[in-house]
Copies of this chain bind each other. A is one copy, B any other.
Amino acid sequence: MISEIKVFAPASVANVSCGFDVLGFCLDPIGDLIHVKMIEKPGVHIGNIKGYKVPKNPLKNVASVAVSALLKSHPTKNGFIINIEKKIKPGSGIGSSAASSAGAVFAVNELLGRPFKSDKLLDFAMFGEALASGEYHADNLAPVIFGGFTLVRSINPIDIVSLPYPPELIVTIIHPKIELKTIHSRAILKDDIPLKKAIKQWGNLGALISALHTNNYNLLSRSLQDELIEPARSILIPKFEEVKNEALNQGALGSGISGSGPSIFALSKGMATAKKAGNAMAEIYKSIGLEYDMYLSPINKVGIKILK
């Protein structure tokens, strides 16, 4: 073994109501731990897997697929063993595949002496996302790699805009324990959409971006709307409308599907409101006996962190 590195690759929320496939922000309290060892013999291997189950076959694991994409652009005589402590449940809607893909390419890039910049790492990590969902997309990867709140202007070429956000913004996540594969949530969407609804969507997105730049909580709240994707996807999520309405009733600024679901996010001004929203959301799932996880978190400014 030549050297090794361990990173924390956080969960993230993509789409954020009106920003389908372009908006995302990074979470704090939960993430995968990716431990990569560089070895002398070439090849990319999955080593130990702890926590949630993911494929051991390097052709089917998002982390190794993303690393292999990196190594195609940077051939080396060395090999890599990727150990994964999988703490984000696959199919939970908070960027499970993005965390492992981004964490692995980030770690390997460090071990190789940083031949690539962040934009390029995103390019490689997208191969992991494509394996998981059938589509190249960067709305979860960008906040994991850059931290904070991000907009993907373009994926070809990669063009990421880091957005400011109001300091008191707190995220509530509730994850009802059903599994929803991104690939299925994508299949439910139509290839064509009504122009009139698209206009509403980009009106809201534009207003949301402006609200983030000006700390305008009222405008942010008015803009967190999605008449396009949410109506189609929410039918896959138990009690979605009730959970969302409870969050809003408790004073959350907005609420919607996290990524492709089933997790639901709420954004609130301040921890007290975020907690109240979370408790009310949880009551809905308690009342029907559905297990859930809940997270409360400020937006994570940093993204991936090196642990050792």
Provide the residues of chain B in CB contact with A293, threshold 8 Å.
none
Chain B residues with Cβ below 8 Å from A181 are: none
* Identical copies of this chain, number: 2
Contacts of A201 in B (CB 8 A): 198, 202
Supposing A202-B201, A207-B151, A207-B159 touch, asked if A191 and B194 sit within 8 A by C-beta, the answer is: yes
> CB distance A202 to B202 under 8 Å?
yes
Given contacts A189-B195, A206-B205, contact A200 B154 (CB under 8 A): yes
| CB neighbours of A190 from chain B (8 A) | 195
Question: Do residues A161 and B192 form an inter-chain contact, with CB atoms below 8 A?
Answer: no
Q: Mark A20-48, 1 if CB is under 8 A from B, else 0.
A: 11110000000000000000000000000
Does residue A279 face the partner (Cβ distance < 8 Å to B)?
Answer: no
Q: What is the chain B residue whose CB lies nearest that of A200? A: B154
Interface size class of A (residues with CB under 8 A): 35 or more
Report the Cα distance A204→B222, complex, angstroms: 21
A263 contacts the other chain (Cβ, under 8 Å)?
Answer: no
A258 touches B (CB below 8 Å): no
5 further interface pairs, Cβ-Cβ under 8 Å (given A192-B195, A209-B209): A153-B223, A154-B203, A161-B210, A163-B210, A190-B195
